[in-house]
């Protein structure tokens, strides 16, 4: 009997890429499958079979066991969504995100199995990852045309390789002699893979396998694995936060540094995206039962695939989501309005000297005046002068004091000392006065040239200790979570103040930073949040000032669902991390230069110089 499906037997050209293992007492069909499995270096495999291929499945399991590959058998009707979930726990493989399947079936069974309504939606994070990370080697025993699989839009798995065998090669006592005859006619079988195209799937021949297990590989067996998401559409959530995410209210288009990073990732990982902001407009804060709102709530409920925003990494958030490696290192600060210089303009004449210096000068003036009076009044040099006490001179305290005071103004006085002791004292006093006047004049010019604004407070301790200013922070963000759960006393006091102010003024917890900037400009209000946004606000308004001390560091990262298999994929060295290593501890003013221009992601990250170790 001839082999009906192999009337035109292939004559492959190429070098042998792999020699199959030597296994006794096994069929040539199983040997070809074992050869491909060993070439792929699978350490475990799930063998799925239908009623017609049960003998081949049992034979395959035994053959794999003899060479140390773990194999478990499942009938097609047993493979359900819950069974697939259980596989992640039963697989001995060290990487449970990558499952390997070998399917043995007739063409009709294969088609119905791949169309089976497995729930691989975004609500099932691990199961959804199998669309990308599972590998399927399908052995089809049929005479039908495989192009029927190209038209199967329900076949969502990326990595499917197919070897088609003639039906006559199914193991049965009646067909043994026919199989031997057919084997002499056709010894090479093509290996095909289902590729993704714009209009669906398409079969691509990637190699050949011989009945003795020899393998000729023309291309990768699973080439789709190199193309990321294979143009799948992801739902992305974000919120405006200049300069990282900027929303044009007219065109409703997003831009900014984080959006540029998203575009680079979509290009590198081969996916499209649709932005779906949170309906409540919040970033996300958890309740007592760990239910979150905002963008994090969207991710927790699996309504979206990813958060692309300047989202801070925080331990409470990590209970419901995963983060990639941080792409930006930020600090928080306190934004306030500069004090009105007219309120202290009267003190400008006193600013060149500190209060301590002014106090020392004020003390030295009467003390030195007393010394001069003593030198002039009791000096034997004036012993010959009659009725001297009835005349004016430096031997009177009033005349001595006014002379010393005049010297401070570089004017001197009417009376002068005639004795050597008095003149010596005055010489040293004049030297002191000249130095003080020169120092004062220099500092006074500097103060007039560059104004020196004294802020009412410079840190959290100073903010919570005063009673003139109210304060607030971006509500439903990482700051609300941190301040609410902090054990540090100053942060506890800060949060108690916010709760008090929120009772009469809910805007102190507004998620919109522009609302807080408006309140700051009205006066007697401080805003605690990201320093980069404050730097940006200061470039647009010179009345704003930032406290000198940083409050807490924040790391921005991309947000993914909890226990996501794609964290490493997004943080891969050849994708995102090549920018991360260049970014290092970012210069915090760097993003400001991109306002008003089209950001370039590599220029932005290359402007940050310090390298950080990558975990």
Q: What is the pLDDT of residue 612?
A: 35
Task: Using DSSP, state whether 529 is helix, strand or coil.
Answer: strand
CB atoms within 10 A of CB 151: 10
Tokens coding 294: 């905002």
Binding site for L-glutamate, residues? Answer: 310, 317, 530
- Give the residue-averaged pLDDT of 321-341: 89
Task: Using DSSP, state whether 171 is helix, strand or coil.
Answer: coil
- Among 290-304, 339-353, 357-371, 464-478, the range scoring the smallest mean pLDDT is 339-353
> Residue 394's pLDDT band (boundaries 50, 70, 90)?
confident
Q: Which residues pair with 447 in a beta bridge?
A: none
| Mean pLDDT value across the chain | 82
- Is the pLDDT assigned to residue 586 strictly greater than 50? no
Tokens coding 27: 């069929």
Q: What is the pLDDT of residue 298?
A: 95
- Give the residue-averaged pLDDT of 481-505: 92
Q: Which residue has the higher pLDDT, 172 or 366?
A: 366
- Is the pLDDT assigned to residue 198 strictly greater than 60? yes
pLDDT, tens digit, for every residue of 22-38? 777 778 889 999 999 99
> Residue 386's pLDDT band (boundaries 50, 70, 90)?
low
Q: What is the pLDDT of residue 579?
A: 54
Task: Report residue 337: phi and psi, to 5°.
Answer: -90, 140
Q: What is the pLDDT of residue 2?
A: 33
Q: What is the pLDDT of residue 608?
A: 42
Binding site, residues? Answer: 310, 317, 530
- Is the pLDDT assigned to residue 432 strictly greater than 70? yes
- Is the pLDDT assigned to residue 3 strictly greater than 50? no
> Residue 607's pLDDT band (boundaries 50, 70, 90)?
very low
> Residue 492's pLDDT band (boundaries 50, 70, 90)?
very high
Q: Which residue has the tokens 């089209």?
A: 598
Please give the full DSSP string across 428-494, using - where no structure is assigned. Answer: HHHHHHHHHHHHHHHHHHHHHHS--PPPS-SSHHHHHH-SS-EEEE-TTSHHHHHHHH--SHHHHHH
pLDDT, tens digit, for every residue of 203-221? 888 889 888 888 887 788 8
- Give the residue-averaged pLDDT of 180-202: 75
pLDDT, tens digit, for every residue of 505-527? 999 999 889 999 999 999 899 99
pLDDT, tens digit, for every residue of 104-132? 999 888 888 877 756 666 777 777 788 88
Q: What is the pLDDT of residue 295?
A: 95
pLDDT, tens digit, for every residue of 273-326? 999 999 999 999 888 888 999 999 999 999 999 999 999 999 899 999 999 988
- Is the pLDDT assigned to residue 448 strictly greater than 80? no
Q: What is the pLDDT of residue 434?
A: 93
- Give the residue-averaged pLDDT of 330-347: 81
Q: What is the pLDDT of residue 348?
A: 76
- Is the pLDDT assigned to residue 72 strictly greater than 50? yes
Q: What is the pLDDT of residue 454?
A: 79
Q: What is the pLDDT of residue 500?
A: 94
Q: Write a three-state SS string for 76-135.
A: HHHCCHHHHHHHHHHCCCCCCCCCEEEEEECHHHHHHHHCCCCCCCCCCHHHHHHHHHCE
Cα–Cα distance for residue pair 228/132, rounded to 1 Å: 8
Domains in the chain (CATH in brackets) are: 4-227 (3.40.50.2300), 233-330+555-606 (3.40.190.10), 357-449 (1.10.287), 454-554 (3.40.190.10)
> Residue 101's pLDDT band (boundaries 50, 70, 90)?
very high
Q: What is the pLDDT of residue 57?
A: 92
> Residue 565's pLDDT band (boundaries 50, 70, 90)?
confident
Q: Are 29 and 52 in contact (CB under 8 A)?
A: no
Task: Using DSSP, state whether 184 is helix, strand or coil.
Answer: helix
- Give the residue-averaged pLDDT of 593-612: 44
> Residue 540's pLDDT band (boundaries 50, 70, 90)?
confident
Q: What is the pLDDT of residue 119?
A: 65
> Residue 438's pLDDT band (boundaries 50, 70, 90)?
very high
């Amino acid at each position: 009997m001839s082999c009906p499906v192999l009337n035109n037997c292939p004559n492959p050209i190429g070098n042998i890429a792999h020699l199959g293992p030597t296994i006794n007492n096994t069929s040539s069909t199983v040997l070809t499958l074992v050869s491909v499995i060993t070439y792929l270096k699978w350490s475990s495999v799930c063998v799925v079979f239908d009623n017609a291929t049960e003998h081949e499945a049992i034979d395959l399991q035994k053959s794999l066991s003899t060479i140390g590959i773990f194999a478990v058998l499942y009938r097609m009707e047993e493979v359900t969504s819950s069974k697939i979930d259980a596989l992640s726990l039963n697989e001995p493989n060290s990487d449970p995100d990558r499952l390997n399947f070998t399917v043995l079936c007739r063409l009709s069974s294969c088609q119905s199995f791949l169309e089976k309504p497995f729930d691989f939606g975004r609500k099932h994070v691990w199961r959804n990852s199998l669309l990308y990370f599972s590998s399927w080697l399908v052995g089809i025993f049929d005479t039908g045309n495989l192009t029927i699989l190209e038209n199967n839009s329900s076949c969502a798995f990326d990595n499917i390789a197919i070897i088609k065998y003639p039906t006559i090669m199914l193991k049965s006592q009646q067909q043994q002699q026919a199989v031997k005859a057919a084997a002499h006619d056709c010894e090479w079988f093509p290996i095909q893979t289902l590729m993704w195209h714009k209009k669906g799937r398409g079969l691509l021949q990637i190699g050949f396998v011989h009945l003795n297990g020899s393998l000729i590989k023309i291309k990768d067996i699973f080439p789709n694995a190199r193309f990321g998401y294979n143009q799948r559409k992801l739902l992305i959530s974000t919120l405006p936060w200049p300069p990282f995410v900027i929303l044009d209210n007219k065109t409703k288009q997003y831009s900014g540094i984080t959006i540029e990073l998203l575009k680079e990732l979509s290009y590198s990982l081969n996916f499209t995206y649709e932005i779906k902001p949170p309906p409540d407009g919040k970033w996300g804060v958890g309740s007592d039962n760990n239910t979150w709102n905002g963008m994090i709530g969207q991710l927790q409920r699996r309504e979206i695939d990813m958060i692309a925003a300047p989202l801070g990494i925080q331990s409470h958030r990590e209970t419901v989501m995963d983060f990639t490696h941080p792409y930006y290192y930020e600090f928080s600060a306190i934004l306030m309005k500069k004090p009105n210089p007219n309120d202290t303009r009267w003190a400008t004449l006193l600013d060149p000297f500190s209060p301590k210096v002014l106090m020392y000068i004020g003390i030295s003036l009467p003390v030195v005046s007393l010394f001069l009076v003593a030198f002039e009044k009791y000096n034997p040099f004036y012993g010959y002068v009659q009725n001297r006490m009835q005349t004016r001179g430096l031997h009177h305290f009033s005349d001595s004091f006014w002379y010393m005071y005049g010297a401070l103004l570089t004017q001197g006085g009417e009376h002068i000392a005639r004795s050597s002791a008095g003149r010596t004292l005055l010489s040293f006093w004049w030297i002191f006065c000249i130095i003080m006047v020169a120092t004062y004049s220099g500092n006074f010019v500097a103060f007039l040239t560059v104004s020196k604004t004294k802020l009412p407070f410079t840190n959290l301790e100073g903010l919570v200790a005063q009673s003139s200013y109210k304060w607030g922070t971006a509500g439903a963000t990482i700051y609300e979570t941190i301040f609410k759960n902090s054990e540090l006393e100053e942060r506890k006091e800060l949060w108690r103040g916010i709760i008090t102010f929120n009772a009469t003024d809910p805007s102190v917890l507004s998620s919109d930073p522009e609302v807080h900037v408006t309140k700051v400009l009205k006066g007697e209000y401080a805003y605690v949040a990201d320093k980069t946004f404050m730097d940006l606000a200061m470039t647009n308004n010179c009345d704003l000032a930032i406290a000198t001390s940083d409050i807490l560091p924040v790391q921005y990262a991309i947000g993914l669902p909890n226990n996501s298999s794609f964290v490493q994929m997004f943080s891969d060295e050849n994708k995102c991390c090549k920018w991360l290593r260049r970014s290092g501890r970012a210069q915090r003013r760097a993003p400001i230069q991109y306002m008003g221009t089209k950001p370039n992601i590599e220029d932005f990250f290359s402007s940050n110089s310090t390298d950080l170790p990558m975990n």
